[in-house]
Every structure is written in structure tokens, then in C-alpha cells.
Amino acid sequence: MMANFHVTTRKGEKQTLEGVDGWRLMELLRDYKTGIEGICGGQLDCASCHIYVDPDWLGRLPELRDEEEAKLDELPSWEENSRLSCQIIWGEELDGLTLTVAPD
């Protein structure tokens, strides 16, 4: 079975993309050119991989750690469903995940 996720890209296009086990979600979003840059490579330094997760999915993702929450604090575009996609590792359990790439 292929595990997919649904993205609204930074340009506003809706796409369904295939996950790759063990990849950071940030890396997938960057590879698929959805508008995510991931400048710092997943070190929680740049916050350039900011996404909004479908509220139904929030509780099903790995829990927010203090370091991620502190980085999210900096973002003027923060919402209740904000996450940094570098902190989410892809696995089959995420099949159907729905998210939106946050503005710059």
C-alpha cells in the first residue's frame, strides 16, 4: 500500500503526494517543490518549513517538543495548528495527512 499525503502548496495548488518512509516531512515537501525551503536542514533554526496541519490530524502527530514550540513562538503567521515539518518523520501511519504550506 502506498501512503500519501494531501498538500496545499504555497502557491495554493492542491496535490496528493507519496510519502517515503523515514524521510522528514520537510524533506518531502522540499523535494516535491511545494514552497518549503528547509534552509537549516531540520535543526529548528530557521522555521522555513512551517505548515498548518488539518485539525483532525493534530493529535495524531508526534507531540510538540519545547524546542519546536519555542521556534513556532517567533512566527507571526502562527496558528493553533502550526507545526514545523522537519519535526515529523514520515511513516505509513501518516497516510492521508492533510496540510497547508504556511506563508513566508
The binding site for another protein (CB under 8 A) comprises: 33, 37, 39-40, 43, 45-48, 66, 69-70, 73-78, 103-104
- Please list, in sequence order, all residues whose beta carbon lies within 8 angstroms of the beta carbon of residue 44, skipping any fewer than 6 positions away: 67, 68, 71, 84, 86, 87
Q: Closest CB to another protein among 30 and 53?
A: 30
Cβ(27)–Cβ(41) under 8 Å? Answer: no
9: left (phi over 0), alpha (psi -120 to 50) or beta: beta
The Cα–Cα gap between 26 and 42 comes to 8
What is the smallest separation between the CB atom of 73 and another protein, expressed in angstroms? Answer: 5
Q: Closest CB to another protein among 50 and 88?
A: 50
What is the smallest separation between the CB atom of 70 and another protein, expressed in angstroms? Answer: 4
What is the smallest separation between the CB atom of 28 and another protein, expressed in angstroms? Answer: 17
Q: Closest CB to another protein among 37 and 93?
A: 37
